[in-house]
Amino acid sequence: MGCIFMETEIYGINPTKRLTVETAEAELYKPKTFLNDHFVRLVDYVGGDEAVVRGATAGKGLDLFKEDISAEDLFYYLRMNHITEPFRFPELKMHFKVPIQEALFWVYQRSSRINEWSGRYSEMSDEAREYTEDDFSYLHVLDETRDKIPEILDLFEKTRLQSKDAYKNMLSEGFVRELARIGIGIGNNTEFYLTMNLEDLLIATKTAFYNSINYDIKKTADSVLDLAASVAPLAVKSFLTPQNQGLDWTIDRDVLEEKPSGNRFEISQTKRLVVPEAEKMLFKPIDILDHGWVMPTDYMGTDSSIVQAARVSYSKGTTSVRQDKTLIRYLLRHLHTSPFEQVSVQYEMKTPIFVSPRQAARHRTAVKGYLMDNMPVSKDFYIPEIEQIRGQSKTNMQGRGSELDDETKVRIIKELDSTFSSQAKLRSELSNTNIPDYMVDAQLGVGHYTWTTWKQDLHNVFHFLRLRDDSHAQHEIQVTARAMGEFVESTFPISHEAFLDYTKNAVSFSSQEQELLARMIAENRSAVPNHFYKDMGWWLKKDDKKNLEAIELDNKIETLMKK
> What φ, ψ does residue 397 adopt, rounded to 5°?
-65, -15
Catalytic pick among 390, 468, 482, 525: 468
* Cα separation, 122 vs 402, whole angstroms: 58
What are the start-end ranges of the H helices in 430-474?
A: 437-441, 458-468
Give the H or E element holding residue 33. Answer: strand 32-34
Note the residue count of the chain: 563
Q: Does residue 474 sit in helix, strand or coil?
A: coil
Burial (CB < 10 A; 0-12, 13-18, 19+), residue 173, is exposed
Cβ–Cβ under 8 Å, residues 294 and 480: yes
Q: Does residue 540 sit in helix, strand or coil?
A: strand
Render 147-183 in DSSP notation, one character per residue: TTHHHHHHHHHHHHHHHHHHHHHHHHTT--HHHHGGG
What are the start-end ranges of the H helices in 30-184?
A: 49-56, 71-80, 100-107, 143-146, 149-172, 177-180
Cβ–Cβ under 8 Å, residues 57 and 25: no
Cα–Cα nearest to 56, from 79, 37, 36:
79
Burial (CB < 10 A; 0-12, 13-18, 19+), residue 350, is buried
Residue 333 designated active-site:
no
Q: Which residues are catalytic?
A: 468
